[in-house]
């Protein structure tokens, strides 16, 4: 695996060094009082993947949709228990968000996922495209040792087709049911329920796309993170969420917050007009996801039948 980031500007190289420092700092604090087996808790690798690793990232905040590629990071740890986000990684996530949004010490948003070495190697052994692309294009920002990841075992063309089709046929209808539920609740005036169901439709649409295209999705309800991963796979997904002004950016944030606040916070407020706007964007997301996934399945059919 590569270890150089020379293709990136010096400022981005320094940012990546800072990100690694934050991850280690917060992980160290989260595990300092560990006992038993977890006393041996270790970060084995920190890998940059996605557009910044490939060199095709977009950094155009002044463009029409203000799209900016995130840093995508895979943290590989020594034990599966250490992948618990709430227990070990919540503060690292908070610090990275704060560094970007408030302190402005990072100029690029950061998304990271955590897996054990066994999970990564199992994904490679089962031909999950996501892990195969990380192994192929990823750049190691840190390695505890120089052991290579397991050799990928790609699915056969027929297996790839069957897996993608199964994920899409299960996931896409599930997402659209939640969209229909949101429309029903909106008509009834149950605005918080409508907001939650729109969040669920959005989450499931992104999950459906990720599974169909890569046979993998992180266990994460953060639709901003899922959106970032999905947009990195197909540029037709760009611009679905307008970001030309603060109101539009705030609308996506309100949808993101609906996962918890629409259910548990008495202070969460959303209007019928806001829900109607968000509903239009989710409907458009559904249209694009359906097109991207059916195009992928058609491509796999050609390969399988060749």
Asked, colleague to colleague, whether 10-143 and 157-305 share their fold, the answer is no
As a whole number, mean pLDDT of residues 51-64 equals 76
User: Does the pLDDT at position 66 exceed 70?
Assistant: no
Neighbouring-strand partners of residue 107: none
Domain boundaries along the sequence of the chain: 10-143, 157-305
Whether 124 and 155 have beta carbons less than 8 Å apart is answered as no
Distance CA 134, CA 120 (A): 10
Q: Specify the CATH number of the domain 157-305.
A: 1.20.120.330
Report the pLDDT value the prediction gives residue 36, as an integer from 0 to 100: 67
Q: How confident is the model at residue 143 (pLDDT cuts 50, 70, 90)?
A: very high
Does residue 65 have a pLDDT over 70?
no
- Give me the pLDDT at residue 38, please: 65
* pLDDT tens digits along 207-251: 999 999 999 999 889 999 999 999 989 989 988 998 888 888 899
pLDDT of amino acid 245: 84
> Can you name the CATH fold of 10-143?
Beta Polymerase; domain 2 (3.30.460)
pLDDT in tens, 6-18: 999 999 999 999 9
Could you tell me if 213 and 172 are in contact, meaning their C-beta atoms sit under 8 angstroms apart? no
One-character DSSP codes across 78-110: SSGGGG-HHHHTHHHHHHHHHHHHTS---SS-E
pTM metric for this prediction: 0.89
SS3 content of the chain, % helix, strand, coil (to 5): 60, 10, 30
pLDDT score for 62: 47
Q: Which residues contact 193 (CB under 8 A, 6 or more apart)?
A: 181, 182, 185, 262
């Amino acid at each position: 695996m590569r270890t150089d980031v020379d293709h990136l500007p010096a400022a981005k190289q320094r940012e990546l060094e800072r990100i690694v420092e934050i991850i280690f700092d917060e992980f160290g604090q989260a595990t300092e009082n560990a006992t038993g087996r977890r006393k041996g808790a270790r970060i084995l690798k920190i890998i940059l993947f996605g557009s910044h690793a490939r060199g095709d990232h977009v950094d155009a905040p002044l463009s029409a949709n203000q799209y900016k590629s995130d840093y995508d990071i895979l943290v590989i740890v020594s034990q599966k228990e250490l992948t618990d986000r709430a227990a070990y990684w919540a503060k690292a996530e908070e610090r990275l968000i704060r560094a970007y949004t408030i302190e402005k010490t990072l100029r690029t948003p950061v998304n990271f996922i955590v897996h054990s070495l066994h999970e990564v190697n199992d994904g490679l052994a089962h031909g999950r495209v996501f892990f195969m692309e990380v192994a192929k294009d990823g750049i190691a920002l840190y390695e505890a040792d120089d052991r290579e990841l397991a050799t990928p075992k790609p699915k056969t063309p027929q297996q790839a087709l069957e897996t993608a089709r199964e994920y899409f046929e299960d996931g896409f209808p599930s997402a659209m049911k939640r969209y229909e539920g949101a429309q029903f609740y909106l008509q009834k005036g149950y605005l918080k329920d409508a907001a939650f169901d729109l969040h669920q439709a959005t989450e499931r649409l992104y999950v459906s796309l990720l599974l169909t295209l890569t046979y993998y999705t992180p266990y994460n309800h953060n639709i901003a993170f899922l959106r970032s991963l999905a947009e990195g796979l197909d540029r037709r997904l760009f611009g679905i969420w307008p970001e030309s002004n603060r109101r539009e950016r705030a609308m996506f944030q309100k949808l993101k917050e609906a996962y918890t606040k629409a259910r548990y916070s008495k202070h969460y407020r959303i209007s019928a007009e806001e829900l109607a706007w968000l509903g239009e964007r989710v409907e458009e997301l559904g249209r694009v996801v359906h097109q991207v996934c059916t195009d992928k399945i058609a491509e796999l059919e050609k390969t399988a039948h060749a």
